[in-house]
DNA sequence: ATAGGGTTAG
């Protein structure tokens, strides 16, 4: 009775619509019984159906029991492996098919095989497949050519891709999309937008996937207005929103800092996968909203999703920003248990340990992670630099060179910055020259800024000035401020006033820079200018970022603002600070009130110094940890000279190691001295 | 009949 119902057209229909493996197996059995498997198209259909339901083993077994597989049978299995994301298996089957010799690959076969090459970045095999496809008459096949385009794009060969694209007699939406996303992915978003315009000019309308590419292009060029208009276009055209499109929109708004909007779109997504979550988490983390990022990570887990490495990298970035070592360690443990370390994860963990003050953990992980690229090396160089260990930074740099990796502009920025944090003048001069002469890297503003800082701070103010004069590019504010700082430190007042003028020309919106300018004028007794600067600062002071310090105690983060009286332990903290103040005055401490920029009486200024947020944080740390425990403080501003001085005394009086990370670098205080050697 | 293009990270 059943066999009567299973005439061929309905069998075909049954196979292609069958939704569960059990029914499919029954159909399969019937096909064997009725002999309908001998129909030339049957094995292929059955293989495709098994593959669609995810049963790759059953698909393989159908293939094996087919005595003379034809092209559609071969293709079905090859496509099944491609969908199963096994590109190497695709290529193996492709070669097996060739050596079998009884069938000739067709357009589908070549297309899928080329896709596999693109996934494996295997150009060599691709060239072989390409020539085979071309002599087989598929030179102008739009599928084969699009696959080739994609291959070139994925291998970064945009010139080859462009050449092929121009030669294609027929292009469809996929060929255009491949070029658009290709240019986005090689970092040429403007070119991608140009290709889209050309596509429109040829009366081809973009579809959903094209829009995703364009959104990425907008993210890359930071063009919010265009991004919004594409979003509008998508809505106007009633495009079918799916999780990928929504995720790229969330990402676009998040990257651009419109986190409310990003969050709104995210909330309204009917289906959220790990990638959407990660896009939002990275948006928060990259905009400095560390606690929001970490809250989203928790929510993601509450929704039953396991964070992937991308989400964890963003979470680690958030931990680094706020110095949340406890959580960073937990995430590290999670990675060790459940994931594999790739370069990016490795670098993120290294960076986290370093920024949370644990340089030795950073280095031991660095030695363990074998997959290193220039970014991983650079992270380690920068870590040693930030902790004031310039010699070690150089040694890492030399090790990197030995591996054959070429240093780039970022590597030199980290290296020169490391020298400047350690006052390694000779090394700085030597490597700065070699950067251009041996490595062919033109120094950029950031490199000059490091060198000027290094030279000027070490007293070579004239040499630093000469270096600025020799610059081909226009010196920016960073360079002039570095020189000004040196002038101030070494009492080069005449030059200082000239440089102060240069700095002011560039309209600095940083309170610290105005303070420096004001101090330079004050040293030169230019009182009218001082008054002017103070006025400017008072205006800015209204909207300046308040200083805060973070300290982790017993796995919890505690934040302190300047003069924070709301803290439950405020009384005890003040008692501790008064005791320390008494002790350090006995040892010779004198408050440096010039670092309080208000018109106040001296004793009030001293009181404010005592209330600087890092002092509250240090006192709180001392009160709530056992003797001998190291204390790590994270500051959002530079540590002031007075607090720097006071912390040295604290470390001696209480016999503790105190680590302070300010916006510029790390200070390790121990036995009354700081690792920076007062060179900062 | 089927095959080619899309989302997040250091």
pLDDT tens digit sequence for A419-473: 999 999 999 999 999 999 999 999 999 999 999 999 999 999 999 999 999 999 9
Region A361-389: mean pLDDT is 95
Q: Is the separation of the CB atoms in A665 and A635 below 8 Å?
A: no
Q: Between A20 and A661, where is the model more confident?
A: A661
A4 pLDDT above the threshold of 50 = no
Residue keyed to tokens 């009567």: A4
Structure tokens at A156: 């970064």
pLDDT reading at A3 higher than 50 = no
Range with the poorest average pLDDT among A13-17, A413-417, A479-483: A13-17
Residue A627 counted as domain residue? yes
Q: Measured CA to C1', what is the nucleotide nearest A182?
A: B5
Weakest-pLDDT range from A28-42, A227-241, A312-326, A467-481: A28-42
CA–C1' A181–B10 (A):
23
pLDDT of residue A5: 46
For residue A89, what are its two tokens?
């298996």
Q: How far is the CA of A258 from the C1' of B6 (A)?
A: 23
What confidence score (pLDDT) does residue A603 get?
63
Nearest nucleotide to the CA of A75, by C1', is B2
What's the Å distance between residue A163 CA and nucleotide B1 C1'? 31
| Measured CA A56 to C1' B4 distance, in angstroms | 22
- Nearest nucleotide by C1' from A377 CA? B10
Q: What is the pLDDT of residue A9?
A: 52
Query: How much of chain A, in percent, has pLDDT values that exceed 70?
Result: 95
DSSP secondary structure of A328-386: HHHHHHHHHHHS---HHHHHHHHHHHHHTT-HHHHHHHHHH-----HHHHHHHHHHHHH
The arithmetic mean of pLDDT across residues A73-79, rounded, is 96
- For nucleotide B6, give the residue with the nearest CA to its C1': A209
* pLDDT above 50 for A78: yes
Q: Which of A257-271, A357-371, A507-521, A567-581 has the lowest mean pLDDT?
A: A507-521
The whole-number Å distance from A141's CA to B3's C1' is 11
List, for residues A182-193, the tens digit of each pLDDT value: 999 999 999 999
- Residue closest to sugar C1' of B9 by CA: A310
Cα separation of A339 and A190, whole Å?
A: 37
Measured CA to C1', the nucleotide nearest A176 is B5
Identify nearest nucleotide to residue A106 by CA to C1′ distance.
B3
Residue nearest to nucleotide B7 (CA to C1'): A244
> What does the pLDDT read at residue A440?
94
The separation, in Å, between residue A45 CA and nucleotide B1 C1' comes to: 9
Residue A539 lies in a domain: no
Q: Residue A594's pLDDT is what?
A: 64
Asked whether the CA dihedral A362, A363, A364, A370 is positive or negative, the reply is positive
pLDDT for position A562: 78
pLDDT digits (tens, 9 = 90+) for A150-175: 999 999 999 999 999 999 999 999 99
A274 in any annotated domain = no
Going by C-alpha positions, the residue among A394, A350, A392, A395 that lies closest to residue A375 is A350
Q: Name the closest nucleotide to A213, judged by C1' and CA.
A: B6
Which nucleotide's C1' atom has the smallest distance to the CA of A48?
B2
In the complex, which nucleotide's C1' lies nearest to the CA atom of residue A244?
A: B7
Task: Report the pLDDT value the prediction gives residue A410, as an integer from 0 to 100.
Answer: 96
Helix/strand/coil for A601: coil
At residue A600, the pLDDT reads: 56
Confidence of residue A595 (pLDDT cuts 50, 70, 90): low
Using the structure, give the distance in angstroms from the CA atom of A107 to the C1' atom of B3, rounded to a whole number. Answer: 7
The mean of the pLDDT values for chain A is 92
**CA→C1' distance for A1 and B2 (Å):** 33
Question: Nucleotide B10: nearest residue by CA–C1'?
Answer: A344
Give the count of domains, chain A: 1
- Tens digit of pLDDT for each residue in A549-566? 999 999 999 999 877 788
CA-to-CA distance for A346 and A556, rounded, in angstroms? 24
In a domain, A631, yes or no: yes
* A319: CB partners within 8 A, 6+ apart: A290, A294, A325, A327, A328, A331, A352, A356
pLDDT at A234: 96
Q: Is residue A629 part of a domain?
A: yes
pLDDT reported for residue A526 = 87
The residue range of the domain holding A635 is 548-674
Q: Which nucleotides of B are covered by protein (CB under 7 A)?
A: 1-10
Rounded, the Å distance between the CA of A262 and C1' of B7 is 14
A598 in a structural domain: yes
**SS3 of residue A639 by DSSP:** coil
Burial per residue of A636-645, b for 16 or more beta-carbon CB atoms within 10 angstroms, e otherwise: bbebbebbbb
CB burial of residue A271 (10 Å; 0-12, 13-18, 19+): exposed
Distance in Å, residue A186 CA to nucleotide B1 C1':
35
Structural domain includes residue A542: no
Q: Picking from A134-138, A416-420, A673-677, which range would have the lowest pLDDT averaged per residue?
A: A673-677
- Give SS3 for A443: coil
Average pLDDT over residues A298-306: 96
Domain membership flag for residue A186: no
Q: Considering only CA atoms, name the residue closest to the C1' of nucleotide B2.
A: A108
Q: What is the DSSP string of A71-131?
A: HHHHHHHHHHHHHTT-HHHHHHHHHHHHHH-SS---HHHHHHHHHHHHHHT-HHHHHHHHH
The whole-number pLDDT of residue A2 equals: 46
């Amino acid at each position: 009775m059943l066999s009567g119902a299973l005439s061929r057209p309905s069998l075909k229909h049954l196979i292609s619509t069958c939704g569960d493996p059990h029914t499919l197996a029954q159909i399969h059995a019937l096909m064997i019984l009725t002999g309908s498997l001998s129909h030339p198209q049957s094995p292929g259909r059955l293989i495709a159906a098994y593959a669609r339901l995810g049963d790759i083993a059953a698909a393989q077994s159908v293939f094996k029991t087919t005595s003379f597989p034809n092209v559609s049978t071969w293709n079905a299995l090859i496509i099944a492996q491609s969908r199963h994301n096994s590109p190497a298996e695709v290529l193996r089957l492709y070669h097996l098919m060739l050596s079998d010799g009884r069938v000739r690959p067709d357009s589908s076969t070549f297309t899928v095989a080329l896709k596999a090459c693109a996934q494996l970045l295997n150009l060599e095999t691709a060239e072989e497949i390409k020539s085979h496809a071309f002599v087989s008459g598929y030179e102008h096949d739009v599928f084969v050519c699009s696959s080739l385009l994609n291959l070139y794009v994925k291998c970064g060969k945009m010139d080859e891709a462009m050449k092929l694209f121009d030669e294609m007699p027929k292009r469809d939406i996929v060929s255009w999309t491949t070029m658009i996303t290709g240019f986005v992915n090689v970092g040429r978003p403007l070119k991608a937008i140009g290709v889209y315009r050309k596509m429109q000019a040829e009366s081809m309308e973009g579809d959903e996937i094209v829009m995703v590419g364009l959104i990425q292009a907008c993210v890359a060029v930071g063009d919010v207005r265009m991004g919004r208009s594409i979003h509008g276009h998508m809505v106007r055209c009633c495009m079918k929103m799916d999780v990928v499109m929504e995720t790229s929109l969330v990402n676009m708004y998040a990257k651009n800092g419109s986190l409310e909007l990003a969050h709104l779109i995210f909330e309204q997504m009917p289906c959220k996968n790990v990638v959407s979550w990660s896009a939002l988490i990275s948006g928060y983390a990259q905009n400095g909203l560390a606690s929001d990022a970490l809250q989203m990570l928790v929510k993601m887990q509450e929704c039953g999703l396991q964070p992937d490495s991308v989400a964890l990298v963003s979470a680690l970035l958030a931990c680094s920003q706020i110095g949340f070592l406890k959580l960073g360690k937990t995430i590290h443990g999670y990675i060790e248990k459940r994931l594999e370390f790739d370069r990016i994860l490795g670098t993120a963990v290294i960076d986290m340990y370093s920024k949370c003050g644990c340089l030795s953990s950073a280095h031991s992980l660095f030695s363990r992670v074998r997959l290193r690229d220039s970014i991983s090396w650079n992270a380690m160089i920068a870590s040693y630099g930030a902790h004031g260990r310039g010699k070690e930074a150089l040694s890492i740099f030399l090790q990197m060179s030995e591996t054959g990796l070429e240093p780039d502009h970022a590597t030199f920025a980290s290296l020169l910055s490391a020298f400047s944090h350690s006052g390694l003048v000779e090394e700085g001069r030597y490597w700065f020259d070699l950067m251009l002469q041996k490595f062919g890297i033109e120094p950029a503003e950031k490199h000059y800024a490091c060198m000027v800082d290094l030279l000027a701070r070490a007293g070579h103010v004239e040499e630093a000035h000469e270096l600025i004069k020799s610059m081909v590019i226009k010196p920016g504010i960073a360079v002039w401020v570095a020189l000004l700082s040196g002038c101030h430190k070494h009492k080069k007042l005449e030059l200082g006033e000239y440089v102060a003028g240069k700095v002011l020309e560039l309209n600095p919106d940083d309170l610290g820079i105005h303070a420096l300018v004001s101090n330079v004028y004050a040293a030169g007794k230019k009182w009218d200018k001082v008054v002017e600067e103070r006025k400017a600062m008072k205006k800015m002071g209204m909207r300046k970022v308040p200083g805060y310090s973070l300290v982790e105690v017993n796995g919890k983060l505690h934040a302190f603002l300047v003069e924070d009286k709301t803290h439950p332990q405020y009384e005890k903290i003040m008692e501790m600070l008064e005791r320390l103040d008494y002790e350090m005055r006995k040892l010779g401490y004198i408050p440096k009130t010039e670092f309080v920029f208000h018109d106040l009486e001296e004793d009030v200024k001293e009181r404010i110094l005592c209330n600087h947020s890092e002092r509250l944080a240090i006192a709180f740390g001392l009160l709530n940890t056992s003797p001998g425990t190291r204390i790590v403080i994270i500051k959002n501003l530079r540590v002031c000279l007075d607090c720097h001085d006071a912390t040295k005394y604290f470390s001696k009086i209480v016999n503790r190691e105190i680590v302070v990370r300010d916006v510029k670098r790390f200070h390790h205080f121990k036995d009354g001295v700081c690792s920076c050697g007062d060179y900062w």
